[in-house]
Amino acid sequence: MSETIADLLLDRLGDDHPGLLSHDRSWTWDEVVRESAARAELARSLRVDGPFHIGVLLENVPEFILWLGGAALAGASIVGINNTRSGAHLEEEVRNTELQLVITDAAGLALLDGLDIGVPRDRFLLVDDPAYGDLVAKHACEPTRDPEIDATTQLLLLFTSGTTGASKAVRCSQGRLLGLGRMNAEKYGVRRHDISYCCMPLFHGNALMGLWAPSLVAGATVALTPKFSASRFIDDVRRFGATYFTYVGKAISYVLATPPADADADTTLTHGFGTEASPEDQAEFRRRFGATLLEAYGSSEGAGMITLAPDGPVATLGRPAHDGVRVVDPETRETCPPAVLDEHGRVLNAEQTIGELVNTEGATSFEGYWKNPEADAERVRHGWYWTGDLGYADEQGFLYFAGRSGDWIRVDGENTSALLIERILKRHPAIVAAGVFAVPDPTSGDQVMAAIEVPAGTTFESLDLPGFLAGQQDLGSKGAPRFVRFSHALPTTGSNKLQKKAIQLEGWRTTDPVHRWEGRGAPAYVSMTEADKAALRAEFEAAGRLRFLP
């Protein structure tokens, strides 16, 4: 049995089943492997001393896939560069990965203009340069793989999304990616007849671990679109005859926000995998498009901790994959007691039951970050793998996600989960996305703030947010947002996740309209003026808590 991605690619030689589709043309699997081999030979010819790292700054175009295959055959690592980042942040994270080559195009070159990423301009290959095709053709060869390659050979450096802080480069070996491909092909039902529509960026683990690797394992067809577009989603599905896709963040909300049509369910689409689609959105997607969404837990750093439970309660992640997967108190490392749920599914003993999700047997499978020992130490402590995610388990052993470890909001001495409030807000039919976080209270503790995104043309008043919140029976007494940022385009990462850290740092000082709940009883919101913001800042100063403002 193959132990590396390189071996699996070579197994596809002679396979005339479609392996890759774009808007312009198609390649059989045999052609994909041969094109990958030419790029592997080109990479070998340009290799210099140091880490064999190749940066790819492209949209979802065939060259990205072919360089993934080329790197696998050459024993190199692909560093997918996030084209939604720019300036000093982009310069720092790319430079730290010690690239030898950059594969990009004119648009990528413009994005990097003026940045020192440690790669000389003559080490850039532009795929839209007229000479590029001839250069690749000169390195055409019979596909082989470097004999030194084994399961531990690094294939990917994946930048984390940066939703809660600076991005880190996650290491992923050929063996780990192959294992994930096999597991996910089975878990998400990816079979040879499937056409896997790749609309999430290839620099992100979702597309690589949830779609490309499983499709390679199954011999399925990968269909590429340059970037995600909600308005083109169904047209692309029909164009390719797609059956499977992956998603992250707000993607499903954006698709559901497009105008409904009578022919919505008239597609080949059967299923998709992703994260952050609410139970309500999952149900509406199935009703409207006839496809099942499989929500699962995972990350670029680790996966395989939780098995799906399709027949489990709404919003569950599934069951622990083994006894080492637990929810623990991070201070005592004791397993948290089961959650007590009311008739609405609200956790009644949150203080006791919500803890950090850990894998007591997962430290050895975590391959670490590239030259970041501090981040490694945060993930592996006491011989355990710590996810940094909050969760809880019910009495039947089903696991639930409760947000990131920084998503606790302490109001009047009581902990509240930001994620649970976000899920409630996203039930509103006009709210496309919601991020909830703590902002300091002028006297002590925290207050709840929400940032919501709605379609253009929607007004805050038309939401009737007070009436909506009053009708949510599972919203705790401390959960109603004190501040609401109102936006038509909240900042996101390249994978459609909200940039919660940046949004939290702005707080109520954003240039977007902010509405504040004033008074007691049911929430009633008034728009904050600049004078109101100045007065609030003065409250902090008078209380000696100005230092608590970010």
The pLDDT score that the predictor gives to residue 337 is 96
What SS3 class is residue 170?
strand
Q: What is the DSSP pairing of strand 53-56 with strand 77-80? A: parallel
- Asked if 264 and 234 touch (Cβ cutoff 8 Å), the reply is yes
The pLDDT score that the predictor gives to residue 162 is 58
User: Model confidence over 416-443: pLDDT tens digits?
Assistant: 778 889 989 999 999 999 999 888 888 7
The pLDDT score that the predictor gives to residue 523 is 62
- Asked if 225 and 197 touch (Cβ cutoff 8 Å), the reply is yes
CA distance 404 to 347: 17
pTM higher than 0.85: no
The pLDDT score that the predictor gives to residue 406 is 67
**List of residues 6+ apart from 482 with CB closer than 8 A:** 439, 447, 448, 449, 516, 517
CA distance 47 to 232: 40
The pLDDT score that the predictor gives to residue 296 is 82
Q: Considering the domain 316-363+371-404, what is its CATH architecture? A: Roll (2.30)
Mean pLDDT by groups of 10 residues along the chain of 550 residues: 94 98 97 98 97 98 98 98 86 94 97 95 97 98 95 95 70 96 95 98 94 98 96 96 92 91 94 87 94 86 81 85 92 94 78 90 90 92 90 92 74 74 92 90 83 95 92 81 95 83 88 85 82 89 73
CA distance 99 to 119: 7
CA distance 430 to 413: 32
Which CATH number applies to 408-548? 3.30.300.30
Domain boundaries along the sequence of the chain: 5-174, 316-363+371-404, 408-548
- Asked if 518 and 526 touch (Cβ cutoff 8 Å), the reply is yes
User: Model confidence over 504-525: pLDDT tens digits?
Assistant: 889 989 999 999 987 655 568 9
Which CATH number applies to 5-174? 3.40.50.980
The pLDDT score that the predictor gives to residue 440 is 84
